[in-house]
Chain A
Amino acid sequence: MSRSQEAAIGRPTDVAVPRVGFGRWFRKHKLEVALVIPLVAYVMVLTVVPILDTFRISLSGRAGNSFPSAQNYTSIFASRVFRTAIKNTIIVSLLSLSMELVLGMIVALTLHAKFFARGFVRTVALIPLGVPTIVSGAIMLLLFSRSGYLNSLMFVFVDLVNNIPGVNLEFQALSWTVAGGWRTLFTVAVADMWKVLPIVTLIFLAGLQSISEDVYEAASVDGATKWQRFMRITLPLLVPFITMAIILRAIDAFRIYELALVLAGRIEPVLGTYIGGRYLPPTNDPFTAASASIVLFGIIMIFIVAYLKFVAGRSRSA
C-alpha cells in the first residue's frame, strides 16, 4: 500500500496487519514478532498444552488400561466423596457470593458517602487483600475453632447487653470448624468473604462513581425517598457491575482451595481439596485427580463464556 492510498483512506495504519503477503509483512515486523514470541510460547507450553495433557491423563490409567477410557470419570462420579465435594463447592460459592454482594454493596455505599476520615477508612478496607490466603485461613481457625475468639467476642457482647436492666441472655461457646455440615461450610464462606470483600467493594465503588449526581438530584426534586432512589436508580444502573462481580467471584469461588483445606480439610471436601487430596500423597493418583480437575475446568468454562458474553463484550475496562 502506497502513502497516497493511505492518505486517501484518511487514517494512519496500525502495526501488523498483513495485507501484502506474509513474507513481506514478516520481514517488516521481524522485531515485533521476536518480542512477542517468548510470551506466546510460554502460554502455549505451560498453559494450553498442560490443560490438553491433563485431559489426556484423565482418559488414561495405570499400566494395562486402554486409552482412551472414561474409567476415571465413572469412578469419581460413583464416589460419594466427589459428589459431596461438588455439592459443597456449590453451597460455599452460593453462600459467599450472596454475602459478598450484599455486604459489598453496603460497604461500597458507605465508602461512596462523604464523611470524616474517609480516605483512612478506604485504605483500611483494603487490608484483607494484603493478607495471604493461607494466613486468613489460620486467622479464621483462631476465630472459629473450639476456644476460638469468636466465642470470646460473643461473651463480651452478651455481657454488654446484660448490663441493660431486665435483659438476661445466655450464650454457649460454639465450635464451628469441626462441626461438619453447614456450619463448617459457613466458616469457609465467611473466610472467603472476608478475604475478597475489598474486590467486590472496589467493583461496586467504580460503578457508583460512574453514576452522575444529576440523576439523583432530579429524583429528589421529584420527591423520591432514599430507598426509592436506591431501588429505582442505583441498582438498575449498577447491573453491569453486579454481573461482573458475580461472574468473576463465581470463577474464584469454584476454585477455592487453601481456605477449604485449612478450615474444612478432612471434614467437608470441596472440588479443590478433593483434587489435591487425590493427587498428593498418600493417595498419589494423578488419573482421578486429572478427571476431577477437567470437571472443574468444564464448570469454570461455563462462567468464562458468560464473562465473554456479558462482561468482556460490553465494557473495554473489564
Chain B
Amino acid sequence: MSSTVVAGKDVLDKPLKLLFPVWVVISLLIVLFPVYLVFMVSVAPGSALFGERPALFVEDPTLRFWNDILQRGDLWGPLFKSLAVASFTTLLAIVIAAPAAYVISRLPVGLRYGVVIGLLVTRMFPEFTIGVSVATRFARLGLIDTYGGLVLAHLIGSLPFIAWILVGTFETIPRDLEEAAQIDGASKMGTLLRVVFPLAAGGIAVASLFVWLYSWNEFLYARLLTTNQNTLPLQVFQAIDRGSRQQMATVAAVLTLPILLVVYFLQRYLKPGALAGAVKG
C-alpha cells in the first residue's frame, strides 16, 4: 500500500482528475436538458415529435403554439388567477407573520426555539390531512373557485414558513436600537414601524419571494378547491391530460419562466433549512 502513497497522492488521483470535467459536463446536461426540452418542444412542429426517436433539435421552429395560447384566451384567466392569488397570499402572509415573528424573536432562547420548531413541524403535516377538511368546509361556505378561498389555503403553508424566516431576520437586529428609540420617546409601536421593520426590509423581501413562488407553483390545494376556474399549474395539468405535447410544453414554459428568473436572484439565500418541506413532489 505504502508504495502507491506518496505525500497524499494515491491511485485514485489520476482517474479522478481525468473524469472530473466529464462528470461536471454530464451533470450540467442532466440539469439543463429537461429544461431545454420544455422550451424546445413548445416550438417544435408536429412532425418532429413522433417515431421512436423524436428529434433532439428543432430545425424549423414554429411559434404556432405560442400564438395559439396567447390568442385563444384560455391562458389569461389562469394566468391572472395565479398572479392575483400569489400576490394576495404574499401580502397577507407578511401582514400576519411579520409582527408575530418579531415577538417570537424577542422570546427567551429556549421558548423561541420551541416555537420555531413548532412552526416547522406544521409544514411537515400532509396537505391532504388538512385539505380534506378545509375543502369540505370551503365548499359549504361557497369558497370553491374563489380567489379568497385559495388565498386562505395557500396561507396555511406560507405563514409558518415566512414566520420562520423572519424570526431569523429579526434576531439579527440588535435590541439596543429599540431601547435607544424608546429613550428618545418613541412608543413601542412607533419603534417597530420606524426602526425595526425598515431594518428587516431585506429579509422581508426575500421571504415574500419564497412565499410568492410557493403560491405560484402550488397544485394540491388548488386542485381540491377548483372546479372550473383553473390556476396556471392546473392548466398545465389539464394540458398534460388532454392537450398535445406542444400545448403542454407551451403552458409549462409560461409557468416556468418567471420562476427561473426569481430563483436566479434568490440563489444566495437558499439554505438547506429554508427548504425543509418547501419543495416536494
Contact = CB atoms under 8 A, between A and B. Distances in A.
A55 B268 CA distance: 41
B126 A127 contact: no
B12 A226 contact: yes
Contacts of B113: 316
B24 interface: yes
Contacts of A317: 273
B2 interface: yes
A316 B56 CA distance: 47
A31 B32 contact: no
Contact of B12 (A149, A225, A255): A225
B214 to A, nearest CB: 10
B124 A307 contact: yes
B32 A195 contact: no
Interface string B115-159: 001011110111111111111110000000000000011011001
Interface string B163-187: 1000000000000000000000000
A153 B133 contact: no
Interface stretch (A1-9, A62-70, A134-142): A134-142
Interface string A277-318: 001100000100110011011001001100110001000111
A125 B27 contact: yes
Contact of A196 (B24, B136, B280): B280
Given A138-B38, A142-B37, A202-B270, A57 B133 contact: yes
B31 A138 contact: no
B236 A135 contact: yes
Nearest to B110: A14
Given A40-B100, A50-B134, A300 B159 contact: no
A47 B156 contact: yes
Contacts of A280: 223-224
A86 interface: no
Nearest to A257: B220
Interface in B11-64: 11-13, 16, 20, 23-24, 27-28, 30-32, 34-35, 37-38, 41, 49-56
Contacts of B2: 223
**Main secondary structure on chain B at its contact with chain A?**
helix
A127 to B, nearest CB: 5
B260 to A, nearest CB: 5
B128 A199 contact: no
B132 A279 contact: yes
A195 to B, nearest CB: 6
The dominant DSSP class at the A interface is helix
Given A152-B54, A223-B2, A279-B135, A42 B96 contact: yes
27 contacts: A16-B107, A31-B188, A32-B106, A35-B99, A50-B133, A50-B137, A122-B267, A125-B31, A129-B279, A132-B233, A132-B255, A134-B240, A139-B35, A147-B54, A152-B54, A156-B56, A202-B270, A202-B272, A223-B2, A223-B5, A226-B12, A257-B219, A289-B128, A297-B126, A300-B125, A300-B126, A308-B121
Given A134-B252, A252-B280, 9 more contacts: A31-B188, A40-B100, A142-B37, A151-B53, A151-B54, A194-B34, A225-B5, A276-B128, A286-B132
Interface of B: 2, 5, 7-8, 10-13, 16, 20, 23-24, 27-28, 30-32, 34-35, 37-38, 41, 49-56, 96-97, 99-104, 106-109, 113, 117, 119-122, 124-137, 152-153, 155-156, 159-160, 163, 188-189, 213, 216-217, 219-220, 223-224, 233, 236-237, 239-240, 245, 248-249, 252, 255-256, 259-260, 262-264, 267, 270-273, 275-277, 279-281
